[in-house]
Amino acid sequence: MADEPEVAHPPLERLARPRSLSEIVADQIRELIVTGRFKLGEQLSEGALAEQLGVSRTPVREAFLRLETEAMVEVRPQRGTFVFYYDAAQLRDISELRGVLEMSALRIALSRNRARLVANLDKVASESEAAGANDAIGYQIFDAAFHGALIEATENRELIEAYERISGRVRAIRYRFTHSPEQVGRSQRDHRTIVDALKQGRDDDAIKKLGQHVYSGYELFLSEKKSAKEQAPKAKNRGEAKR
């Protein structure tokens, strides 16, 4: 009797798993936070969200717990659920962690499939440049795609999951910081500089530039905070002068 042919079974991680309602609701709430529909620090209403999303309170409650693991929300017993908020120290910590993950991801991805990675990054950068710099909101898609390509290219599930735990907050912060054509243009130029360095084999330069690019959000926050403090006394003095 002839041997039966071997049947190739797909890896377990490739088998599609139906997404639960709470996962879908978590995605919807995350996007509402990222895109500024909810303010940082704002209290979320379980009932209002359930009505808005057309679901019962149970999946909303489960979504809150899921988002809490990403630090997108803070569940305070007897008080409610609040959108995350950050100060200078917290933003520094997020930026440093993101820098470590993305710079490591770039090194790993280059060792796995350099040509595919560079081609993907070049494609996203080119599409972003073709779209221009005037649409700061629309640019968020390109920005997320560029950095997401770095992470996915590692094919390292542990690293990908670690990044997913901060990616929501990273996107929310980027959305709030990138609001002018000048800022979009600066980000686009950074992406192009990284791609060009990789094309020329200057990997160390590309990794260094990526680190600077990631940390620029924290530096912008400090700059805007300093500017606000400097403007406050001037506004107060103008008010007193009118009396």
In a domain, 149, yes or no: yes
pLDDT at residue 11, as a whole number = 44
Both 75 and 98 in one domain: the answer is no
Q: At residue 12, does pLDDT exceed 90? A: no
Where residue 76 sits, what CATH number does that domain have? 1.10.10.10
Cβ-based neighbour number of residue 196 at 10 Å: 15
Both 187 and 112 in one domain: the answer is yes
Q: At residue 9, does pLDDT exceed 90? A: no
In a domain, 6, yes or no: no
Are 184 and 139 contacting, i.e. CB atoms less than 8 angstroms apart? Answer: yes
State residue 83 phi and psi, 5-degree precision: -65, 145
pLDDT at residue 239, as a whole number = 56
In a domain, 240, yes or no: no
In a domain, 8, yes or no: no
pLDDT interval class at 2 (50, 70, 90): very low
In a domain, 236, yes or no: no
pTM of the model: 0.80
Both 54 and 101 in one domain: the answer is no
pLDDT tens by residue, 173-188: 888 888 889 999 999 9
Nearest to 140 by CA among 151, 128, 130, 150: 128
Both 172 and 206 in one domain: the answer is yes
Where residue 112 sits, what CATH number does that domain have? 1.20.120.530
Per mean pLDDT, which range of 36-40, 131-135, 218-222, 237-241 is the poorest?
237-241
Cβ-based neighbour number of residue 157 at 10 Å: 9
pLDDT at residue 176, as a whole number = 85
Both 65 and 140 in one domain: the answer is no
User: Cα 48 vs. chain centroid, distance in angstroms?
Assistant: 26
DSSP letter at 55?
S
For 93-106, letters b (16+ CB in 10 Å) and e give ebbebbbebbbbbb
Which residue, 52, 83, 114, sits at the end of a domain?
Answer: 83
Q: Looking at per-residue confidence, does 192 or 243 come out higher?
A: 192
DSSP letter at 185?
H
The residues, ordered by sequence, that sit 6+ positions from 188 with a Cβ below 8 Å of its Cβ are: 125, 128, 129, 133, 139
Q: Residue 74 sits in which domain range? A: 19-83
Amino acid (1-letter code) at residue 23? E
Nearest to 83 by CA among 72, 67, 97, 95: 72
Both 175 and 55 in one domain: the answer is no
pLDDT tens by residue, 103-142: 999 999 999 999 999 999 999 999 999 999 999 999 999 9
Percent of the chain with pLDDT over 70: 85
In a domain, 2, yes or no: no
Measured CA to CA, the distance from residue 168 to residue 145 in angstroms comes to 13
pLDDT tens by residue, 45-89: 999 999 999 999 999 999 999 999 999 999 999 899 999 998 889
Both 58 and 92 in one domain: the answer is no
Both 92 and 54 in one domain: the answer is no
